[in-house]
Amino acid sequence: MEWKVNRASKKPIYKQIADFVEQGISTGEYSSESMLPSERVLAKELGVNRSTVVAAYDELQSHGIVERKKGSGTRISTDIWGVTRKRIPNWGRYVEGGSFLPNLPFIQQIQSETRKNNLINLSSGELSPNLWPSEQFSSIFIEHPFLEPLGYDHPKGNASLRETISAHASTYRHIQIPSSSILITSGAQQALHLIVQCLLKPGDAIAIENPSYFYSLPLFRSAGLKIYYLQVDQDGVSPDDIVDLYKKHRIRMVFLNPDYQNPTGINLHPDRRKKILDISSEFGIPIVEDDPYSLTSFDGKKVSTLKSMDDNGTVLYVSSLSKIVASGLRIGWIMGPPQVIDRLADAKQQIDFGHSIFPQWVADVFLKDPYFDAHISMLRQELRERCREVVSSLEEFLHDEIEFIPPKGGIHIWGRLKTKVNENQLLEEAMNRGVSFIPGSVHGTGKGYVRFTFGREEPARIREGISRFAEALKACKYQ
């Protein structure tokens, strides 16, 4: 028998065997005229315990695929293709066989446990409700009549909103771009998905930061891309590393988060920005700049985005309102060459027939409102205070246990633990004590790192969360 169980797989062995037998039945390898291999014979052929085969046959019997009689063996159900028994689809196989991969198990576990048990949330990248401009949104509905048509909008997004974002980009991000070169998306996540699906193909090589938020995105792996890593230091990625990867692997695209990077919180050095743009134009390598945080600088200074320095049209710029206004608004955008925007707009229209007019209308009115400046100022101040709370709490509870660089903007602090611990165990211990965080391996780096996010919780809760994390770390050290 050529097929073997995969002992490294997370799927139980009995389920692997059940799927294998069902596949053999579907292809006709097992005849309905004869008995299936006995439990003992199949166990010997596959090198497993007989009880494992018994569990596999029980699984098949529960779905009406086989019939079992004590003393007579197991055979294909005589009514497997009939009408007297209703067969349930093998949803497990469908779920596991899809081309789009699931989130990393760590991510699934953290999201589930944090929601279910109301943990102190130092893991989510979402802003807390008191940082949303909820009152301003309410006044928008009262003071501004909604007069927009309710049919399908322009494939690139609402024309007025695109004009507003063009003006917004000029004022706040030093980017000069016409509205025709802007596509409205359902947050930055959809923007990245469209870029990957429309501009790359399976087998293409790309470069991402390490550590980075991009590492945890299943869309790269689902697309069959070859992923290579650019190590992040205190000044961001090295331009020379991009050249090396291009020469070795002919990378076709580079994905960067230059400002208050997730998870490290660092900024790409200005000199490196210029050199990366020079490399991009020299070798014809597109740069995808993901910019969720540049407006959150604690000192209020404006950051020169890569796109604002792009004289050759090599940067695709992605941003959204998720990290500066509200994640549920689902307003993001891509800026790029017209032919690229047209291609992505066509694909988006095939997926959802265009973005909903209501969030576009709200975003348009809000971005034009003078209150936007006040909101950003408030957000910077609140995030600065929360960051200070994380820093002071780390220094108090973990002063000799962790190394970190305080960020100057954004919502993340990245730390290296000085003591080696099992990160699975540390995560379990922390969540048992009522706090969640992100283990370093989620972001691609080696083990021994942690990410704390401070946009979701109030300062008092942040302090308590770090205290509980310190208790969890102490418990892991002595086990």
Q: What is the pLDDT of residues 127-155, one digit of tens each?
A: 999 999 999 999 998 999 888 888 889 99
pLDDT computed for residue 478 by the predictor = 63
Distance CA(33)–CA(76), nearest Å, equals 8
User: For the CA atoms of 293, 296, 298, 301, what is the dihedral angle to 10 degrees?
Assistant: 90
pLDDT computed for residue 9 by the predictor = 83
Distance CA(370)–CA(171), nearest Å, equals 13
Tens-binned pLDDT, residue by residue, of the chain (479 aa)? 578 888 888 788 988 898 888 888 877 788 777 788 888 888 988 989 999 999 988 888 887 788 888 777 888 877 665 544 555 676 776 777 778 878 777 788 888 888 888 899 999 999 999 999 999 999 998 999 888 888 889 999 999 999 999 999 999 999 999 999 999 999 999 999 999 999 999 999 999 999 999 887 888 989 999 999 999 999 999 999 999 999 999 999 999 999 999 999 999 999 999 999 999 999 999 999 999 999 999 999 888 999 999 999 999 999 999 999 999 999 999 999 999 999 999 999 999 998 899 999 999 999 999 999 999 999 999 999 999 999 999 999 998 999 999 999 999 999 999 988 999 999 999 999 999 999 999 998 777 999 999 999 999 999 999 999 999 999 997 66
pLDDT, tens digit, for every residue of 363-422? 999 999 999 999 999 999 999 999 999 999 999 999 899 999 999 999 999 999 998 899
Contact of 192 with 292, CB cutoff 8 Å: no
Nearest Cα to Cα of residue 335 among 360, 321, 318, 322: 318
Contact of 234 with 255, CB cutoff 8 Å: no
**CA-to-CA separations, 201 to 196, 316, 322, in angstroms, rounded:** 8, 17, 28
Take residue 368 and report the two structure tokens written for it: 């034009």
Contact of 418 with 404, CB cutoff 8 Å: no
Cβ neighbourhood burial of 283 (10 Å; 0-12, 13-18, 19+):
middle
Residues 6 or more apart from 130 whose CB is under 8 A from it?
458
Domains of the chain: 13-97 (1.10.10.10), 105-125+374-477 (3.90.1150.10), 147-369 (3.40.640.10)
**CA-to-CA separations, 303 to 43, 267, 286, 309, in angstroms, rounded:** 64, 9, 21, 11
pTM of the entire predicted model: 0.84
pLDDT computed for residue 79 by the predictor = 65
Distance CA(86)–CA(380), nearest Å, equals 59
pLDDT computed for residue 450 by the predictor = 96
